[in-house]
Amino acid sequence: MTARRLVVAMASILVVIAALAYVIHARSWLLYSLESYEGTPMVALEMPELAPGTEWFDDWYSIEQIDAATFAIGEPWYYEMNYNFLILGEERGVLFDTGPGLRNIRPVVEALTDLPVVVIASHYHYDHVGGHDKFPVVALADLPVLRRLVTEDGMFTPTSDLHLSAFTGSTPPTHRVSEWWAPGKRVDLGGREILVLHTPGHSPDSISLYDRDADQLFSGDYIYVDYLYAFIPNANMGDYLQTAHQLLSIIDDDTEIFPAHSVPADGRHGVIRLGRSDVMDLRDALEGIESGTVHAQGFFPRVYPVNDQISLFGDFEWLQDWD
Ligand SMILES: [Zn+2]
């Protein structure tokens, strides 16, 4: 082989390695463009049918009253079928997530309560923080991954990785941090106390809210029905498992778990209720995946069974992070 051919061969190998490294690095985005969610309409083509107990607020939002002081504000037209939760005490309320922001959620909140409302996100993915800019008081989970992004004058903007901006081309929100809610904090709403839990796995900044007296857990995207996204950037299998252990030590057999997304049951839209056994199934599946006894289907993402209504989308085995 001549020196020139050798150089060409080496250069070709380097190009192939670089291309492979890029494909591995950008695997989630490439999957996104290949599967072409862009072809999926963001909004349902036909009027969604609501489950019993769920009512239309207007032609976009639905409302289900969970109890006298707890409301699920749904977005049945939106393809991800988000649920935002309004949790009221006697003195103030919490709005847990503001949805994708395709419609202003503030009038819904103001129609349901006169109390001052503090907003906090379950996590900063684009479909949970789209209405944050409509509210003056926004709390931030006190986590290093978020705190390091706050400017000296108290403004917060998530990174595009935390916001998944590339999925939608949307711009991450910027808001003032009015309150810091550290994991373990008990937020007093007046006659109602909400415990803040750090529940990473789906994302490093994920939190859940737990009302021990009402035995309600608002789980954000940690657990929901259908496919759990454990393959996206910043998701972490080890965190998923640790969070399952944490939740199982806190909740009980009567706990109602309210996820931030729904899927229609019998074609009808309503809030989903999961229970402790679903978290146990998730823990068992994760332990099985880690030890190699639970096997995946599909090339990418790897699809693991959890139970008859939940599966987990995982990364390639050799890229799964269990630390
Ligand atoms: Zn999410």
Mean pLDDT in residue range 263-281 = 94
Residue 68 within a domain: yes
- pLDDT at position 20 is 79
Mean pLDDT in residue range 279-286 = 98
Q: How far is the CA of 123 from the centre of ligand 1 (A)?
A: 7
64 DSSP β-pair partners: 54, 72
Q: How far is the CA of 183 from the centre of ligand 1 (A)?
A: 19
Q: Is the peptide bond before 301 cis (omega within 30 degrees of 0)?
A: yes
Give the whole-angstrom CA distance, residue 296 versus residue 126.
28
Residue 203 within a domain: yes
Residue 64 within a domain: yes
For 238, the enclosing helix (H) or strand (E) is helix 237-250
- pLDDT at position 30 is 62
- pLDDT at position 206 is 98
Q: Please name the amino acid found at residue 202.
A: H
Residue 196 within a domain: yes
Instruction: Enter the tokens of residue 319.
Output: 């890229």
Q: How far is the CA of 202 from the centre of ligand 1 (A)?
A: 7
Are the C-beta atoms of 293 and 314 separated by less than 8 Å?
no
- pLDDT at position 4 is 87
Q: How far is the CA of 213 from the centre of ligand 1 (A)?
A: 27
Q: What is the pLDDT of residues 214-266, one digit of tens each?
A: 999 999 999 999 999 998 888 999 999 999 999 999 999 999 999 999 988 88
Are the C-beta atoms of 235 and 193 separated by less than 8 Å?
no
* CATH (domain of 167): 3.60.15
The C-alpha angle 266, 100, 69, rounded to 5 degrees, equals: 70
Residue 87 within a domain: yes
Q: Is 142 helix (H, G, I), strand (E, B) or coil?
A: coil
Q: Which domain holds residue 66?
A: 41-207+248-273
Residue 278 within a domain: no
Residue 293 within a domain: no
CB atoms within 10 A of CB 168: 16
Mean pLDDT in residue range 276-285 = 98
Q: Is 292 helix (H, G, I), strand (E, B) or coil?
A: coil
Q: How far is the CA of 206 from the centre of ligand 1 (A)?
A: 8
Q: How far is the CA of 162 from the centre of ligand 1 (A)?
A: 9
Q: How far is the CA of 161 from the centre of ligand 1 (A)?
A: 11
Mean pLDDT in residue range 145-152 = 97
Q: What is the pLDDT of residues 65-99, one digit of tens each?
A: 999 999 999 999 998 899 999 999 999 999 999 99
Residue 297 within a domain: no
Structural domain total, the chain: 1
Q: How far is the CA of 141 from the centre of ligand 1 (A)?
A: 15
Mean pLDDT in residue range 135-163 = 97
Give the whole-angstrom CA distance, residue 110 versus residue 77.
21
